[in-house]
Each structure stands twice: as C-alpha cells, then as structure tokens.
Amino acid sequence: MNRPLDRRLGWTWWTRNGSYFRIFLREATSAFILAEVVLFMLLLHKAGQDAETYLAYRDFLWHPLMVVFHLVALAFALWHTISFFLIAPNALPGQVAGRRIPAAFIIGQQFAGLAAVTLLLFLWVAWVGAT
Amino acid sequence: MSDTTIQLEVFRYRPDNGGPTFQSYEVPYHDDWVVLDALNYVKNYIDGSLSFRWSCRMGVCGSCGMQVNGEPALTCAAFVRDHMPGPIRVEPLVNFPVERDLVVDINGFMEKLDHVKPYLVRDDEADDLSAEYLQTPTQLDRYKQFSMCINCMLCYAACPVIGRVDEFIGPAALALAQRYNLDSRDQGKNMRQDVIFQNEGIWECTFVGECSEVCPKHVDPAGAIQQAKLEGAVDYYKRLLTPWARRS
Amino acid sequence: MSGRSHEPLFWSLFVVGSVLAAVIVPALILVTSVFGPFGWRWFADAFTHDGIRDLLQHSIVRLAIGAVIALIAVHACHRLRHLAIDLHAPLPAGLIGVLAYGSAAAVAVLTAIFLALV
Ligand code: SF4
Ligand code: FES
C-alpha cells in the first residue's frame, strides 16, 4: 500500500537554525516598534493636557526601567533598519532602464538617507530645546 | 582504501513496516566523497534495500536533494569531509510526503510548475512556427538568473510557508513565472499573473528568504517573489484606478 | 483557486511604513526617550511641557507626525499579523486581520485626535 509520510515544517520552523531565528527576530521587531509608537502617541495625548499630567507621564517614560526597555526597543528597531536595507537590493528589479544597479550602491544610499533624517531630527529637537 | 570510516544515520521508511526509523551504516571515509557516494556505497555493499533518487551526480539534474544534518542540500554536492567527524544524518526533504526511505512525492511540485506556464507563450504562434525572436544581451540579463533553476526542490524544503499552506505555489515555480514574465519574447504575462497574484501565489510569502540561502544555483527565488510583489502592487492600483480598461 | 488578492493594498502601505520605520524609529526612540533621561540638556528641555508644545506648534509638523505614525502602525500591525499566521496562531485568519488592521486604524485615529487637541 502507498501511505506517504507527512513531514511538513510545523510552527516551530524558526527554531531550526540561526538564519530562521534571525528572520523571526526581524518579524518580532514589529512588536517593539508598535510599543514605541503607542508610547509616543500617549506622549502626544498628555502634551494636550495640563503640565502636571504631562510631566507625570514623561517621568514614567524616562524612568530608568523604561529607559532599559527603550534601549532594547532601539536594538530591535535598528535590526529592522539593517535587515530592511540589506534585502532591499534583492527585492528591487535587477535593472533600471537597462542598467544593473550595484547592490552596494543601493545599500549605501539607504544608510545615507538614514543618517540624514536622523541628523535633521536631532538638530530640530535640540534647536527647539536650546531656544 | 582508507581506514577511516564515518557513520551515516539514514532515514528509513517502508510504508508496510510501520513508522520511520533511523538506520546507522559505517562507510569508508574518502576526502573527495560526497554524501551521495556514501549512500551509493551503502546501497552497493551493505544494504540494497535503501531507496533514493539520483542521476547526474554533478549538480545538474536536481534529483538528489535530501536533508543533510537537517539542512536541504544536493547530496552530490555535499562533501562528506565538511561533516567530519560525523555522524551524518540523511533524511528525505522536509515538507514533501515521503514515499519510501529518502524518496519523496514530487507530484504536487510538478503541478505547481504547470500552473505558471513555464514556457514561452506567444499570441501569434499559430501563424508562423519558424519565426525567430531576437533578444539583446540586456534583455537576456533581465531574467537570466531566474532561469538557472534545476527543479531540485531544496527551496520548498526550506520554506515554512510551504509547510503551512499546501497550495502555496512556492519559490521555484514563482521564480520561473518571473523568468518568463521578464522575457522579452514572451506574451503570457497576464495569464501567469492571474495565477501568481492570488493569495496562494506570491502573497503568502513573508520573505523569510531561506529559499535563496539553500538554492544551489543562486536563483534567488525570494528576490524574484518580492519583485513580483512590487509589480503586483502597481498592477493592483492600475486596475483600481482604471476599472474600465479591458484586460485580456 | 481564489482570484486576484487584495493583499497588495495592505502590502503597499506596509512597505511605505517599513521605509519610514527604518529611517525614523531609531531617532524617535533616542530623541523622545533616551537622550533626555541621560541628562542631555537640550533634549531634556525640548520635552518640558512648553518644549513639546513648541515642537508641535506648526500644523505641518502635526500633519507629518500623524501620517508617519499611522503608516508605521500599519507596518507593525501587518507584520504582526503575518508573524501570527506564520506561527500557526489558532485563530481564524480573518479575525487576525481584523485585530491587526483594527489596531493600526485605532492608533492612526487616536494620534490624529491627540494631535488636534495639542
Ligand atoms: S530555485 Fe534553486 S533551490 Fe529552488 S528548485 Fe530551483 S535550483 Fe533548486
Ligand atoms: S545527482 Fe543530479 S543534481 Fe545531484
């Protein structure tokens, strides 16, 4: 009799090796990014209320334990950034107007963009804080 | 003959003899042996009942794919020396139904290949069978990478989405669809896109990317699928914004 | 089979959100929640009650923040949806979708309201 055996990868596929696990971490960055977005949304909410309420929330956000969380979230956010930039050349069409764009160029451009946006944001906030 | 030996732990399954088991074989070690050589040694000198597929033993036919120490690999390209001191665990490709020992059922895969019409489609074919369709090196370069596939199915064994959705067309077939869609001589793009722009086409894929990691021919099916997604999204909005446009 | 998918709608928003998340979220975390508590004067002063109101003073700034937050929320929720599916979450796929994009929509709408009230 013909009785084929079922050997499909189950839900634990991401534990099979290191590269699966890195992909799992990449997908998990979304949980930390969502958490930071919600915390920021609440900061905007408190900004619309009186100074005391706002500062109480800000001090919670800046509590040492929360800062530890922010640093972990930052590590995950950077993993999203790096993994996204590194796979972008594969996800884009190989040719633009009949020419191959070198992957290193695409990756470099993205990191340049990241640096520019980050610097602008820093300067803007520091400027408002200093004046 | 060398004195060194290496242990092979081979997956055995015979539907009539109960569940699967692992069977150990001691085979001689040779510097230049690949796992397939070791399996053939078992078959020829130790246990003739072991079943597995192979043909070219040079990475061209794509029939010798198995899990070698848990990773999908062409056994004719996986050197025994890279797995010293052993043991080497040899299993059939995961995600496929196992027929017997190391032999898997490839019918589902063959059907998926069929779905994407992996051949040049011409509207005008009936008119002139002797017509030539010229192509520039630049046009060839657009799809060449995606045409290197040998249908070894390693990418299907590496894909967690295949393990979850039986109908998912999967890496090799989607890369092949892209290979023909990007071919300047082809006119079947719209028909293929009807298939690959379904959920069970490209949209089940979450860019795990392991298919491209294991591919022995550097086809990069994961890249092909993401490029198709970009085209799919553009096409989706085109259809949304111009519902009156007629499409064959 | 099932006909052409509507996934491109969500996927395209996801990709735009991915780009924004990649270039903005690290800086956002540093600026709002790390530099201040580490005692960097300018950044601490930017997040006093007056400071944040100054930051949000221009309506163009508020508009940009609202759009960016909405798209990053879609990015994160879309990815969480697919992570849940890839981990074989024992829920109907439709329900996971409603939960995911519902959350993203809630974040987008609430952010818009909060920004309007500053
Ligand atoms: S795409 Fe690569 S791994 Fe997949 S079947 Fe083709 S050659 Fe094998
Ligand atoms: S035997 Fe042909 S590819 Fe390995």
* Ordered structural domains, chain B, with CATH: 5-104 (3.10.20.30), 107-245 (1.10.1060.10)
pLDDT of residue B85: 86
Q: What percent of chain C has pLDDT over 70?
A: 98
**What string of H, E and C letters represents the secondary structure of B81-119?**
HHHCCCCEEEECCCCCCEEECCEECCHHHHHHHHHCCCC
Instruction: Identify whether the C-beta of residue A17 lies closer than 8 Å to the C-beta of residue B157.
Output: no
The bound ligand whose nearest atom lies closest to the alpha carbon of B39 is 2
Give residue-wise pLDDT tens across range B194-228. Answer: 999 999 999 999 999 999 999 999 999 999 999 99
pLDDT at B1 over 70: no
Domains of chain A: 7-130 (1.20.1300.10)
Sign of CA dihedral B245, B246, C2, C4: negative
| Residue closest by Cα to atom 3 of ligand 1 | B215
Nearest to B99 among A4, A17, A87 (CB): A4
Q: What is the ipTM of this complex?
A: 0.95
Between the CA of B173 and the centroid of ligand 1 the distance, in Å, is 9
pLDDT of residue B125: 64
pLDDT tens digit sequence for B73-123:
999 999 999 998 889 999 999 999 999 999 999 999 999 999 999 999 988
What local confidence, expressed as pLDDT, does residue B176 receive?
A: 97
Q: Which residues of C touch A16 (CB under 8 A)?
A: none
Three-state secondary-structure class, residue B2 = coil
CB–CB contact B164 C88 (8 Å): yes
Do the chains contact at C86 and B199, CB–CB below 8 Å?
no
Domain extents for chain C?
Answer: 7-117
pLDDT averaged over chain B? 93
pTM over the 0.80 mark: yes
The CATH class of the C7-117 domain is mainly alpha
